[in-house]
Amino acid sequence: MKSEPRKQCVVGFVYDVAVAVLMNSIVTKMGYTLLVKSTSTEAIQHINEADIVISDVSYGGYDVYNAARACQKPVIMIDGGLLKLDKTPDAIILSKPFRPSALEEAIRKCAEGLKSDKQQ
């Protein structure tokens, strides 16, 4: 019996319920699995399962960013106005409010980067 290939996994750390619902809708529609964690500590514990990490800036978001980058995971940071760009140089930044298509495009860009890394 053949096993199905593993779906790419997105680990999200967001405290904004509306963003979590939007993220779930988009990630699922794109065919990825999603693990949404309610604390930065939980998100960091699941970083190795992630192909892509999405994190709020607040409440430990920089820690999530640093853990993801230490594991060479692409990161999308969601900013509500508190982001210090020098602390997240490799992240894709989405500032609230943002269109759903912007999140989808950011995920797509990260996924394309993963494909090109595997081809090298």
Q: Distance between CA 95 and CA 93 in Å, rounded?
A: 6
pLDDT band at 120 (very low <50, low <70, confident <90, very high): very low
- The CA R_g of the chain, rounded to the nearest whole Å, is 14
Q: Distance between CA 33 and CA 10 in Å, rounded?
A: 6
Within 13 Å, how many C-alpha atoms sit on residue 38's CB side?
Answer: 1
CATH code, 48: 3.40.50.2300
- Cα 50 versus chain centre, distance: 8
What residues make up the domain containing 89? 9-119
41, part of any domain: yes
- pLDDT beyond 80 at 105: yes
1, part of any domain: no
Find the mean pLDDT for residues 6-15.
84
pLDDT band at 16 (very low <50, low <70, confident <90, very high): confident
75, part of any domain: yes
110, part of any domain: yes
49, part of any domain: yes
Q: Pick the residue with more confidence: 70 or 1?
A: 70
Number of structural domains (the chain) is 1
Find the mean pLDDT for residues 19-46.
91
The residues, any chain, with a CB within 8 Å of residue 68's CB and separated by 6 or more, are 47, 50, 53, 55, 74, 75
Q: Pick the residue with more confidence: 81 or 91?
A: 91
pTM of the model: 0.87
Q: Pick the residue with more confidence: 113 or 54?
A: 54
102, part of any domain: yes
Find the mean pLDDT for residues 68-84.
88
Q: Residue 28 phi/psi, 5° resolution?
A: -65, -45
Q: Which two tokens stand for residue 59?
A: 């409440």
Question: Which position has the token pair 């992630």?
Answer: 50
81, part of any domain: yes
